[in-house]
A = this chain, B = another copy of it.
Amino acid sequence: MLELRHLRTLLALQETGSVSLAAERVFLTQSALSHQLKQLEAYYQQPLFERKSQPLRFTLAGERLLTLAHELLGRVAAAERDVARIREGDAGELRVAVECHTCFDWLMPAMDSYRQHWPAVELDIVSGFHADPVSLLLTQRADLAIVSEMEPQAGVVHHPLFAYEMVGIVARDHPLAEKKIWQAADFAGETLIQYPVPDDMLDLWRKVLLPAGVNPPRRSSELTVAIIQLVASRRGVAALPYWAVRPYLEKGYVVARTIGDGGLRSELYAAVRSEDAALAFMQDFLATVRERSFATLPGLTVLAG
């Protein structure tokens, strides 16, 4: 018998295009999903998608159930929001502290969607870049902080948001474009183009350059396009999230390369005060950020709690 679980699976399958990735998305193993799908196809006595093609293609029946999934899951979310509001009311204050430049790319669509669902919540961004955004939480100057590490701290809980790959970008005719994988040493002779933030907020610095003792000259810009522009005109190299540079890759302005074996993985967490962690309007903000981000940004991976 059909359950919402199956529809959530189909949706993940559509978004990721593969069984294994979909499994990761719904926090199950590939095997579990394979079983679940087999069972579903047995129930409807017909295949729901073609496994051969990459990305996988849905059959007519699969498409129909996918449509159903879209219809239902949105309504479920809406109903659960309403139920939560019945319990806790619909008002609240949610000041978000952000420490990364690119975060605005996914934060804006998420906040936009969230505002529609929680019109009575005062939603603000605490602007400016802070050495320690978590301290803003404890001093009541923010209610949620976006951070890239899960540093344990009394009175604060961290909720995983998602993970993604940081890629090195360089002009197409730059010598480094020849190398598939860049190591720390490759940055030694280059100018590093970056956002104007302290070094320890850069994943590239913390995880690659600092351990290797490499300290290349820098040049900075506030805007992603400006960084791309500098890289394209061979003024240096940069490390940016894959999802932030993909549009420029497709236009061929620059090329992207893997940093370190297995790539440079960045993670994002939302830190909130412990006493706020269970609030419905807070929980739903996290759910909205995850949902919108996975739907919008390419190449995200889930981050376990």
Contact = CB atoms under 8 A, between A and B. Distances in A.
A61 B84 CA distance: 8
Interface in A67-107: 67-68, 71-72, 75-76, 79-80, 82-84, 86-87
Interface in A135-172: none
A65 interface: yes
B76 A75 contact: no
Main secondary structure of the interface of A (DSSP, over half): helix
B3 A46 contact: no
Interface of A: 1-5, 44-46, 60-61, 64-65, 67-68, 71-72, 75-76, 79-80, 82-84, 86-87
Contacts of A83: 44, 46, 61, 64-65
A80 B1 CA distance: 11
A64 B79 contact: yes
A79 B87 contact: no
Given A1-B4, A68-B79, 10 more contacts: A3-B5, A4-B4, A44-B83, A44-B84, A60-B86, A61-B83, A64-B79, A67-B79, A72-B72, A72-B76
A68 to B, nearest CB: 4
Contacts of A3: 3-5
A86 B4 contact: no
A80 B84 CA distance: 30
Contact of A68 (B44, B46, B67, B75): B75
B61 A86 contact: yes
A62 to B, nearest CB: 9
Nearest to A75: B71
Nearest to A68: B79
B46 A76 contact: no
A35 B173 CA distance: 66
The 7 A-B pairs at the shortest CB distance, nearest first, are namely A68-B79, A3-B3, A61-B83, A61-B86, A46-B87, A64-B82, A60-B86
